[in-house]
Structure 1
Amino acid sequence: MATPEYDNKHFVSTEKEAPLGSPARSGSGEVVGEVIQGDHGADTELRRLLGTRHITMIALGSSIGMGLWLGSGKSLASGGPAGIFLGYVLAGSMIWSVSHSIGEMAVMYPLPSAFVQWTAKFVCPSAAFALGWAYWFNYVITIANELQALCTVLGFWTDKVPVAAWITIFWVVIILVNVGAVTVFGEVEVVCSTIKFGWIFVVILSLIVVSAGGAPNHDAVGFRYWNAEPFTHGFKGFLSVMPTCIFAMSGGENSGLVAAETANPRKAVPRAVGSIWLRLALFYLLGALMVTITVSPENPDIFGGSGTNASPFVIAYRNAGIPALSHMMNAVIFISVLSTGTISGYAGSRTTMGLAHLGMAPAVFKKADKTGRPWYGLVLTLTLGGALAYLNVGNKAADVFTWLSNLTSLFTLFGWGMICLSHIRMRAAWKLQGRDVADLPWKSWTYPYAAWWGLSWCIILIFVEFYLAVWPLGESPTAKTFFANYISVPVILICYFGARIFYKGPWRVDLRKIELDVTRRFYVDMDTEKANKKGGVVGGVKKAAAFVFN
């Protein structure tokens, strides 16, 4: 099958359309075929080896890592109990909106770099170029951040091992998980997500008991810290927690990437989207609430303080006199952080593959071996991510966390905004070209309100982070601080305008000219398939599909 080629000056696809019913392998029997392979890279060397349980568990646990378990301590100190809780409420409403936009597009257009290719198709190729490379660097930064977080977590048990040694050991672990078959990656993430998901119930129930005075120290904390000082640094303190809250929830969009390697996106993706409320309610909102009622924002040991830089969850158990649970909590944090680093390696390599199919990265990144591993993207992503982690060797862990999480949150806001905008423009093109909404393989009941909500807040928070970079909380304004916290935006703008100058073309794609069936996956209606079976139609849709596929 032809690979996409682009006129380097105008981003015009020179590839001819493949015939209707181009072959497409699927293990589900529900997928009939990808009708036209074409200008946005649906035809890749990836293999669809992941099932519904993989994408559901990855969606549940992919973003549960350093941001929640460790970063919530820094947010607690900056914004206070009410500040951190409201920050997670706002960030949660945004990722909920983004997830519904992802769901609708990922079912119909399951592509290797997902939102990068959706942006090229529905918004603007130059924006896709900026988003793709910004998001790839975002994944690289996340690997570095999670590796240095592992050193902080392990410091709870011992400080005898050099930081560089820990980074090297777990860099190798992340590499090994990613260079295995995609099924190995999928099974590892299912196990890690199951542990995270099961443990959160222990955290919620046990910390309720602790706050009520049922722990060995018999200290009934209740809402003592809420009553004393709900916002530790006023409105500016509340604003300062938003980058960490966004960073904590970044990664939830990875379910869109996994759809390209899922046997049946129509079944798997909506289930993953439907589980988003559970993750938000249990992990972030109730988890943050448990921290605010059991840990003082003035505690010197929380992440970024002058003490052991421990997780606020670990501190809660330690102060309550339950050392066994504090050790178990630290172990779960360790697994969570390592898991998030592994997912970032996976996502970064798939992003480079999608960019290559758009003609925005060297063609070598399109390549994958017979088991579906995109080696060139994996090597580049994992090598650079691990190398950046060594920044932690000569700097304070909390400082490195602040730098990298601010960069990540800005890239994430840009990505979430582009996902929502792509969804809005996809629906607009669908309507403008006279298509019926009922023909969508899966429809989000939240459209258009959720998509506009997510897009609006992404824009607002990008300006909020500019304000915090110019006038940082508790520091004097300096050029160094500004660029350390806001360099992501200049990088995005340079990439965007560089692509505009090099490729030219329109500022946005014409909705009337979008090929809605290019890179689309079509599905059999299950009711029709069952009717055909009951009617005794020998062969039926399923056998016909099997004939085409095999």
Structure 2
Amino acid sequence: MVDDTHITVLSGTLLHLSKLEFRRSFTPRQIHVLSLGGQIGAGLFISTGTNLLNGGPGSLVLGFAVVCTCVWGMLQTVSEMSIAFPVSGNFIEYADRFVDPALSFAAGTSMWLGWTAIVAAEATFFSVIVNYWAQNRVHDAVWYSVFLVVMILMFLLPSVWFGWFEYFAAILKFIALLIFVFAGFAMILGAGPKGYLHHGDGWKEDPFKNGFKGFSSSVLLAVLAIGDNSFTGFLAGEAVSPRYSVGHAAFLIPIRVTTIYLVCIIFISILVPADSPSLYGSSGVAASPFVIALNEAGITGLPDFLNCVILIAVASISAESIFIASRMLRFMSHQNLIPQWVAQVDSKGRPRWAIAITLVAAIALTYCNLSAGGIEVFTWLGQIASTGYFMVWMVVAIISFRFRAALSAQNDPLFSEPYAWKCTIWPMPPILLLTCCSLYTACSFYLGLYPIYTIGLFLIVFSGVGYKIIFRTKLRDPAKVDLRTGRRTLSEEEIFALDTYYSQSSIRRFYSFVQLW
């Protein structure tokens, strides 16, 4: 165990590790911006082309709409526990505390595997984007190597650089999407030198290509594009005021993400036909459907700007993935789920072994893209990540029921405390998560009849079952689980701040609620 170690994270603020607890330093605004930016990645910009190609416009929109409902369900479910128990391990610790150590191990393995696979998937995106300019004159292995070197260098630099990069990248990605929303609306109405009025012909011809197979592919790629939204819960462990900041994010982020995503997806489905030869994977030319729409309208400059933004998004999501995956290994090590040496840190407080293990796995998966068909390998990596994401959502739903059972068994007055935050219309959010995840699992098995789509699911299940058999773990008794360690009761200062906030006018509260700066 290493005491009094300072770790610099995301926003560049210093975290203090003493008895495995972080100093609370994230402001509500930082949590809001970082959580929002974490939902916007290259998957939205690029893999939507694969969705459109495989499933048509109907499956594309429906797939994203279904997954967006899980953003709300996930944040509602995990935030209830995160605000009450804002611990650094978040749902990994909750799984151990309220359910079973084996479930904690499986959830940690799932999350680590998913985020590590994302690094390899982002390397594929990087190659696609750069080849948009290089016109495929450079071998993919070169771009993969460049990308991996950049990622390694980012984690060799002081962590403050990583923090500021993530913060400004989140804002830039959000602005880029807003620009496309306005540009997309104008292009539908015929804007641009080559523009013409779009009538949504793709919706008339074959809106649901390949039937359920097309929808399954679209919904799983939508999971990959939207990503894991449990990140907000992990930030709660370092939040200055979890009650306000996490509650704020849980309410507002699903609205913003769903609105922006679905508007962009609907515009893409109208502007780009599913049989466009420029779609990713349809020919040697690989490009984002966002860029395709701008190019076909004859709008110059904006496609290059958007491609630059996508490059930043790729680097941002990949760096975030390495950061979270390495911290997941460290959390699991602290809980004695894996060897303790994995938690060792260097002189600057970085978990060197956890980062090294994550980077080695990411490098191996990245170069797998060079084997027999990069697109098929990319789909394989995407399935690993997607499965990791929605299996985590299923775990969070299970934990929620056990958490409520513990509160009931011990007659705990948690929800009667001042400004207590409760999950909206519980148990609907965890039920929604279980329902959607069952659908995603069915999609995975259905697609498993074709390529190897279910490997991520099998690895996760086997890791949990194997851990339980080897270590003979037992289910936690709700009447005896620990409801005190890590519990956060509002201080007088926080209560005063919340009183002040709610005493403001509705307009003033709304402004402070939605601002990003």
Query: Are positions 1:442 and 2:409 aligned together?
Result: no
**In 1: Cα distance, 2:464 partner to 2:316 partner:** 32
Q: Larger C-alpha radius of gyration, 1 or 2? A: 1
1:454 matched to 2:421: no
Compute the displacement of 1:180 (Å).
Answer: 4.4
| Contact 2:21–2:88 (Cα < 8 Å) also in 1 | no
Unaligned runs of 5+ in 1: 4-40, 473-480, 533-550
Partner of 2:510: none
Partner of residue 461 from structure 2, selected from 493, 504, 508: 493
CA distance in 1, matches of 2:153, 2:28: 24
**Cα deviation code 1:408-433 (max 9, x no counterpart):** 11111110111122122212211221
Range with bigger deviation, 164-173 or 508-517: 164-173
The structural deviation recorded for 1:435 is 1.7
Q: Quote the residue 1:407 is aligned against.
A: 384
Tell which deviates more after alignment, 225-234 or 439-448: 439-448
1:464 aligns with 443
1:475 maps to what in 2? none
Q: Deviations over 1:184-232 (max 9, x none)?
A: 3332111001001111111011111111112211311132222232212
Deviations 1:318-351 (A, max 9, x none): 1111131111111111111111101101101110
Q: What is residue 340 of structure 1 aligned with on the other side?
A: 317
Structure 1 residue 526: Cα displacement:
4.1
| Cα gap change, 1:527 to 1:393, in 2 (>3 Å) | closer
Aligned to 1:355: 332
Select the residue among 349, 354, 357 that pairs with 1:380.
Answer: 357
Where 1:275 maps in the other structure, the secondary structure is helix
Aligned 8 A contact 1:119 1:127 in 2: yes
- Alpha-carbon distance in 2 for matches of 1:301, 1:531: 52
Instruction: Say whether 1:64 aligns with 2:32.
Output: no
Please name the residue that 2:144 is paired with. Answer: 167
**Structure-to-structure mapping, 1:85-164, within 5 angstroms:** 85-158=61-134, 159-164=136-141
| Structure 1 range deviating more: 169-178 or 424-433 | 169-178
Instruction: Name the SS of the counterpart of 1:518 in structure 2.
Output: coil
Shift of 1:239: 2.4
Equivalent position SS for 2:86: coil
Partner Cα distance (1:515, 1:87) in 2? 39
Is 1:522 the counterpart of 2:492 in the alignment?
no
Aligned partners of 2:346 and 2:239: how far apart in 1?
17
* 2:240 corresponds to 1:263: yes
Give the equivalent residue in structure 1 for 2:200: 223
Separation of aligned partners in 2, 1:144 and 1:254: 19
**Distance in 1 separating the partners of 2:440 and 2:495:** 47
Task: Report Cα offsets for 1:283-318 as digits up to 9, x if no partner.
Answer: 321111111010000012211211312111111011
Q: How many residues align?
A: 484
Report the equivalent of 1:185: 162
| Sequence identity (%) | 28
RMSD: 2.5
**Relative to 1, partners in 2 of residues 1:81 and 1:248: Cα closer, same or farther, differing over 3 Å?**
same
- Once the two structures are TM-superposed, the CA of residue 386 in structure 1 deviates from its matched residue by 2.4
Q: Give the Cα separation in 1 of the matches to 2:369 and 2:490.
A: 49
C-alpha distance 245-119 of structure 1, shift in aligned 2 (>3 A): same
| Equivalence for 1:546 | none
Residue from 254, 274, 284 that aligns with 1:307: 284
| 1:529 Cα deviation after fit | 5.3
Change over 3 Å in CA distance of 1:526–1:443 after alignment to 2: farther
Alpha-carbon offset, residue 274 of structure 1: 2.3
Per the TM alignment, residue 42 of structure 1 is displaced from its structure 2 partner at its CA by 9.8
Q: Distance in 1 between matches of 2:150 and 2:253?
A: 29
CA positional deviation for 1:391: 1.9
- Please name the residue that 1:83 is paired with: 59
* Amino acid of the structure 1 residue aligned with 2:224: F
Cα gap change, 1:364 to 1:51, in 2 (>3 Å): farther
Q: 1: CA distance between counterparts of 2:225 and 2:390?
A: 12
| Distance across 2 between alignment mates of 1:210 and 1:95 | 29
Look up the equivalent residue of 2:34 and give its one-letter code: I
* Residue type at the aligned position of 2:171: T
Query: CA 1:113–1:170 in 2, change beyond 3 Å: closer, same or farther?
Result: farther
Contact map agreement 2:114 2:387 (CA 8 A) in 1: no
